[in-house]
Structure 1
Amino acid sequence: MNRISGGENIKVNKSLKNPTDLMNYTVPYMVAFIGVDLGDWPKVAGFLCFMLFMFILTYKSKQLFMNPILAVLGYSLYDVDYEVNNCTRSARILSKEDLVPEDRYRLLMLASLPIVTKKIN
């Protein structure tokens, strides 16, 4: 991500790390599907219905892009108020950096998701 060029310089006004509580609620339900036999179609259908329901929940809660792989790589989700080109905006931003108010960062839109690529000194 640090090698990607482009994006906009932003100044963070307010930053709040967004917890991934949704993942905490789904883990107990996932345990029920650990021993799913792929030959048992009713259980497979139940698992697929559950996964569809979880997709809808994560999509509606705008936490779709906070997945375990990104968490392992050190990315976090933030609710941020920031300034860009003398305009104040609010967004949910994915970042590997801790977003500190009054600091400046490079913001890149990747597949319509705002991602902070690096801190600007």
Structure 2
Amino acid sequence: MQFRIVPAFLVFLGSYFPLAIILALQDIKSEYWGMDLCWNLKDCVIPNGHHPYLSFSVVVITFLCFLITVQVLRGLRYKYPVTIVGLKSIPSELISYSFPYIVSFMGVDYGSAGKIAGLAVFLLWLFLITYRAGYIIMNPILLILGWNLYEAEVEISGHKRTVKLLCRNDPTPGKYLCQEVQGSYISTGEKQQ
């Protein structure tokens, strides 16, 4: 199965939801950071940002794209029988995938049109790279949701091969139903009889 470009871009943007929150927090005016924590709801003040509409919009858009990612995973039909012969966890690949994103966002300021334009070009470039490489579904935020990445030796229709497997549970050798997405296999981790 190959992602179409628009759904792939929405899944890609969903991986930036935590970073959108970081940017929104960095946009909050400094006077709000000196205030005491509010313990009584009627005394609470909602902090205001330097660019509230932009930061709020980015958080909402990336959150909606994150929800789309969750729906895409729920909507997959796991129909291909695969026998897992052996596997090993490779969590560092998702972390190395996300590290450049995190570092690059720390210097972004919503007040600088040049930095926002640079960020947009950077995101577009990274999207194109991950889309062409077939790594759209290797979304770092999925680690938080309990998905893990494995290098698995599998048997499909009597042929053995080594594949990348994204799995919700910790699989053990046995039979599973999977879906192939851009060269990677996805499974809920529920063993078949």
TM-score range, shorter chain: 0.7 to 0.9
Partners of 2:76 and 2:131 in 1: CA distance: 26
Which deviates further from its counterpart, 60-69 or 14-23? 60-69
Partners of 1:41 and 1:4 in 2: CA distance: 39
**CA displacement, residues 45-81 of structure 1 (integer Å, 9 cap, x when unaligned):** 1111221232244345543212244222211222222
Partners of 1:109 and 1:91 in 2: CA distance: 10
Q: Which has the higher contact order (CA 8 A, sep 6+)?
A: 1
Matches within 5 A, 1:74-89: 74-89=146-161
* Runs of at least 5 residues in structure 2 that lack an aligned partner in the other structure: 1-72
| Distance change (3 Å), C-alpha of 1:60 and 1:76 | farther
Which AA in structure 2 matches 1:109?
Answer: E
Partners of 2:122 and 2:75 in 1: CA distance: 38
Give the root-mean-square deviation of aligned CA atoms.
2.9
**1:115 maps onto 2:176 in alignment:** no
Q: Look up the SS of the partner of 1:93 in the other structure.
A: strand
Counterpart for residue 103 of structure 2? 28
Which AA in structure 1 matches 2:138?
Answer: M
Partners of 1:115 and 1:98 in 2: CA distance: 12
Find the partner of 1:72 among 120, 131, 144.
Answer: 144
Matches within 5 A, 1:34-53: 35-37=109-111, 40-53=112-125
Find the partner of 1:105 among 176, 179, 182.
Answer: 176
Which AA in structure 2 matches 1:115?
Answer: I
| Distance change (3 Å), C-alpha of 1:5 and 1:67 | closer
Larger strand proportion, structure 1 or 2? Answer: 1
* Runs of at least 5 residues in structure 1 that lack an aligned partner in the other structure: none
Name which one, 1 or 2, has greater alpha-carbon Rg: 2
| Distance change (3 Å), C-alpha of 1:2 and 1:65 | closer
TM-score (ref. length: structure 1)? 0.72
| Distance change (3 Å), C-alpha of 1:89 and 1:27 | same
**CA displacement, residues 11-50 of structure 1 (integer Å, 9 cap, x when unaligned):** 21231223211212331211111x323xx43222111122
What fraction of aligned residue pairs are identical, expressed as a percent?
21
